[in-house]
Amino acid sequence: MSGGTITSDFAMLTAQLLEILRAHEGMRVFSPRNEAGEVTEHILLPKASLKLLDAAEEYQKTGDFKKVVSTVEKMDDYDMMISGRVLQEILVQAGLAEAHHRLRTFKNSVSSEVQGVTNTEDSSVVSFIGTFEKLVQKGIKPADIREAIIQQKIELVLTAHPTEAQRRSALKKHEQMLQQMKVHDAKDQLTPGQLAGLYDKIKAIQWSCWRTNTVRRTRPTPEGEARNGMLVIEETVWKAVPEHYRRLDRCLTRIGASPLPFDASILKMSSWMGGDRDGNPNVTWEVTKKVVTLLRWRVVELYYREVDELLYELSMDGEVNEEMRAEVEAVSSMWTASAPGSKVCKPDARSGVHWNFHTGVAEDEPYRRLLMAIRRRCWRTKVSMEALYMGKQNDPDFEKEVLTSSEELARPLEIMYRSLIEQGDEIVANGRLLDLIRRVRTFGISMACLDVRQESDRHSEVMDTLTSFLGLGKFTEWTEQERCDWLVKEIESKRPLLAPDMPMSDIVKEILDTYKIIAELPSEALGAYVISMSRATSDILTVCLLQKVGGVKKMMRVAPLFETREDLINAPKVIDAALGVQWYKDHVQGKQEVMLGYSDSVKDAGKFASTWELHRAMENLLEVGKKHGVQITFFHGRGGSIGRGGGPPNFILQAQPAGSLQNGHLRLTIQGETIGRHFPSDEVAERTLEQYSTAVLEHTLAPPPLPKPEFRAAMQELSDLSAEHYQKTVFKSDGEIFVRFFHTFTPTSELGQMNIGSRPAKRRSYGGIDTLRAIPWIFAWTQTRLLLPVWLGNGLALQKYIDAGKLPLLQQMYKEWPFFRSMLDLIDVELGKSSPMITEHYESKTVQQDADLKKLGADLRAGLQQMIDNILKVKGASELLSQEPNLKAAIAMRKPYLDTAHAIQAEVLKRLRSTEGEVPVELRDAMIITIQGIAAGMQNTG
């Protein structure tokens, strides 16, 4: 293998970091510490921190955790805070080493596949070359592979769930670090001076990270979250998209198929940032309007730059095809500058630039003439979006030329492309121009289509207000049939429904104003309207009516979200009833999107039950679609952690039934901290896109086999057994012992201090675990290494089957059923990050002398061990992560530093809960820093 190993990369980065830190041991610096601007002196790196690092390294060699704990216990609050920062940076370096090594492993794997050698190092390594050749070996024709790729529509939806524990300023530096690590792989080719310069650059980035405060003092705004998401797309995905298509073209050619059509559109980026108002009062109609405007503004500026570059490349003169000639003539006649005093000859007041579109372009340079017209529209769109964002009046002349659909931009570009091909200039056509065409087909007029999400109960509040004002009683007190009948009648009615003088609450007014702004925005800039907690057909029809009330001409597609186990079971009935309404069936025109929630279903019933009910819901919904002649598209609300539906694409798609990716359409969320892992650099972004594309392709052309009846029966029983135990433990414990344990044992209350998201941790300000969002629920268990949501109930269910002599059946299911195998493999990966020892240490610091809580803690640790033992029996493995050597090595190298971070956090928890009055800022920051460090070490938060 070229380059290095994950451990050598980590050793190099850690050595560099510690070298610069030790050089500043005991240095005294000054910094502001309070709002009054008072400046205090502090030590950059105390000796206590170095002692703790020595203890961590000794722990790595001897396995003696006691010295680490005793060292931490002797520290003051400031020493713990600084030590936590050191460990945080080390754990971040470990993540960078892992990301870099995975990319290196992938490249080496592809090189091996080209040479006919199969990769066996990492089961998550898949590539176009390997997948294409595997499908050809199965008898699938290259032309069919190409056609399946063309039909794909992979839509990645960035969400701003509060799980991104690292600040954007740090993530940008990490991208720079990855670039330097690429150079380091070729260190043998560098001169001594160049190598020294490289190490200096790495140290400079590390020092900049170290000196950047990782503690957010204010909670981010929804618009700020949207800006961060926009930056990720611009800096990595924008660069990755053209190379993704080129890689596909090369690999298709390799198997004897033609490259993709120039106008193929197989990727799409969307976002919830600025549109997700479910439980987040900070997302208003003004925010949504601003975010859409920002997305349109930024993407058209990128288009402008690309068109500007093309003006230098497409300098060809002479003949063009008839289509191109007609387009140039049409544009020229529209914007002729022959008349004296013509408006187009006047300088733009904003820029001072003469916007005659063909100024300085010779008549025999048709491509440049057309490009100048395109550039003009891009500029005017950009200026108009800027004015709209600032709340200023748009120039009417500019407004006429604003781009409102991707076709307006793609059409002239594709005309040029066809003309170049016909004239024998394919080498030029297939360069920057083709890249731009594919970007336009991917990003459209908005960098990401914005979804809107709202909870069904909020819509019901609007309907209650409306029907009560009309003297019809409360909408929510009607029967489901009465609601549906009235909704359809009002949708079809031509008279207005909303009275201008209707009294309403601020919440109702905000919701209605949201629909009005949806009506104002270009439909292409918007995605789906997602209804959280959907439970009835009337929830879907209500959103259709409210769009009509708001004046929406081209309605957003409605995607009901089914989240809990019970809702998943009822989902097919709801969609069946909706498609049974003739108006609605005609309205959807053969396509219905359904969103499936992976987070709340796990929180509600545990991993086995959630995974199985999601699988069954998809099967049953597909049957409903067939019944009505409607294509069901699934929108997967997957989180970052395996406990919330995350995992490698080739694993998670195996858990879906055959046919669930209709026409190769995959839509799923990329949440929180996984955004940084999916798109830290353009190369990793390319790899991310390739992973999803190959997984979809294989699932489409070589779908998983149907399970045997006895497999289905066993999985249903395992699901029921595990859910019963899970719900009894979590929701039905005597004296709410479990609730007390959760709030005492985990840092759940401290997570609220992190300012890591604009949304509250609960949908409502009251209630217990049932109202807690799934993200902080899993985040809290991850921090303590118990990882309860991914295993509770499952180990007991497996044990009952094993005790009944059914271990051979379970082993057969694992061997022959991809669904069962992927589920256990993903749980295996998560369990590999657990630690009963660390869990017990948290108990000693938090639970202390409470006998009930101590007993529950011991029972839970026994349950964790039971799950580990039983999953190994079923898989026939001797240890966890036996199929994931890279991940196993990554966890091992993090262990001494991660466990030491846990030791600090547990001590901080103890001190926080014994502190009366105001909490010292050092102690509070130590808590936040260790949360960030542990999240970096675990490679996921929620």
Does the CA dihedral 469-470-474-480 come out positive or negative? negative
Contact yes or no for 522/556 (Cβ under 8 A): no
Task: Write out the DSSP string of 522-536.
Answer: -GGGEEEEEEET--S
Q: Would you say 284 and 510 are in contact if contact means Cβ atoms under 8 Å apart?
A: yes
Give CA–CA dist 817/812, Å, rounded.
8
d(CA 496, CA 876): 66
Residues 6+ apart with CB under 8 A from 131: 694, 697, 698
CB 760, CB 772: distance < 8 Å: no
Q: Active site residue: 101, 107, 161, 833, which one?
A: 161
Assigned token pair, 897: 């530093």
State the Cα–Cα distance between residues 111 and 117, nearest whole angstrom.
Answer: 9
277: left (phi over 0), alpha (psi -120 to 50) or beta: alpha
Looking up tokens 């199929």 gives 883
Q: How many C-beta neighbours within 10 Å does residue 882 have?
A: 14
Non-local CB neighbours of 621 within 8 Å, separated by 6+ positions:
571, 572, 575, 594, 632, 634
Are 36 and 109 in contact by the 8 Å Cβ rule? The answer is no
Q: What angle do CA 679, 685, 691 make, to 5 degrees?
A: 115
Listed residue (486, 575, 487) closest to 535, CA to CA: 575
In whole angstroms, give the CA distance from residue 827 to residue 511: 40
Where do the H-state alpha helices sit in 283-404? 285-313, 322-334, 366-389, 396-400
Give one word for 606, left, alpha or beta, with left for phi > 0 and alpha for psi -120 to 50: left
- 758-795: b or e for each residue (b if 16 or more CB lie within 10 Å)? bbbbbbeeeeeeeebbbbbbbbbbbbbbbbbbbbbbbb
Measure the CA–CA gap between 787 and 898, rounded to whole angstroms: 15
CA atoms within 13 A on the CB side of 903: 26
Give, for 268, the enclosing helix (H) or strand (E).
strand 267-271
Specify which residues 561 forms β-bridges with.
Answer: 595
Alpha-carbon span 218 to 223, nearest angstrom? 14
Measured at the CA of 641, the angle between CA 637 and CA 643, to 5 degrees, comes to 80
Name the helix (H) or strand (E) containing 842. Answer: helix 836-846
Q: How far is CA 842 from CA 226, 644, 905, in A?
A: 36, 24, 9
Torsion, Cα 733 737 740 744, to 10 degrees, reads -120
**From the candidates 174, 382, 603, 665, which is the catalytic residue?**
603
Q: Are 316 and 428 in contact (CB under 8 A)?
A: yes
Both tokens of 40, joined, read 């205090």
SS (H, E, C) 746-785: CCHHHHCCCCCCCCCCECCCCCCCCCECHHHHHHHHHHCC
Separation of alpha carbons 414 and 437, rounded Å? 7
What SS3 state is found at 636? strand
Contact 681, 175 (CB under 8 A): yes
- For this structure, is 161 an active site residue? yes
Exposed e or buried b for every residue in 534-552, given b needs 16+ CB within 10 A?
A: bbbbbbbbbbbbbbbbbeb
Q: How far apart are CA 508 and CA 465, in angstroms?
A: 8
What are the catalytic residues?
161, 603
